[in-house]
Structure 1
């Protein structure tokens, strides 16, 4: 059994966020659960690529798969992740407002 240190736990989280599609996927799931086909359409990627990203996020412990009959719904593994992602986004924009130049105008971030 591997014992994870705080540093390695944060490194896994950083790995999950290091890909723009995975970051967008986490932000989409922050709004609520979703199904792979719908999430792939929302993110503009293939179902295969989405499946690979979901596998990575599940491996990092950030996303959970919930079987529903023949379908599988994906959601954040812990509701606190939604708040943490929002807080992290807020801190990044406070430190570097130019990271999202449209944030003030569009209110997107």
Structure 2
């Protein structure tokens, strides 16, 4: 992000904003297993088809997901696999932070003082 103009930073922020919603991350995880239509995704997520469609529209707008019409159905698939590398990086960082916090808490655990 070095030396990016404000317009470019705003676009980067929109990309991360799309990834900041748990339902969209759940949809991406489901699509990681293969393409699905809105009804399949809605059932797997436990949300309405309308709700899932709104999330898919945002994911599609950012280029993370692509859609393909087949007859009367629309199927979605991951268009940018690099999103999983980004998510794995973030998950690894969160796990390290949690491990560090747990280690620091152990220092204050009852029964450790003598």
In the superposition, the TM-score normalised over structure 1's length comes to: 0.72
In structure 2, how many angstroms separate the alpha carbons of the residues matched to 1:75 and 1:41?
Answer: 16
The count of residues paired between Structure 1 and Structure 2 equals: 95
Paired with 1:97 and 1:29, the residues of 2 have a C-alpha distance of 29
Q: Tell me the CA shift for residue 4 of structure 1.
A: 5.1
Q: Quick check: 13-22 or 76-85, which moved more?
A: 76-85
Partner SS state of residue 96, structure 1: helix
SS of the aligned residue for 1:64 comes to strand
Structure with the greater alpha carbon radius of gyration = 2
Correspondences of 1:6-17 after superposition (within 5 Å) = 7-17=9-19
Any gaps of 5 or more consecutive residues in structure 2? 1-5, 101-114
> Could you tell me which residue of structure 2 aligns to residue 53 of structure 1?
55
1:64/1:76 contact within 8 Å kept:
yes
**Corresponding residue of 1:27:** 29
Distance change >3 Å, CA 97–CA 32, structure 1 → 2: farther
Q: What's the CA shift string for 1:24-78, capped at 9, x where partnerless?
A: 1112222222111111011100001001111111112211101222211111112
Q: Which segment drifts farther, 82-91 or 18-27?
A: 82-91
Q: Partner of 1:37 in structure 2?
A: 39
Shift of 1:17: 1.7
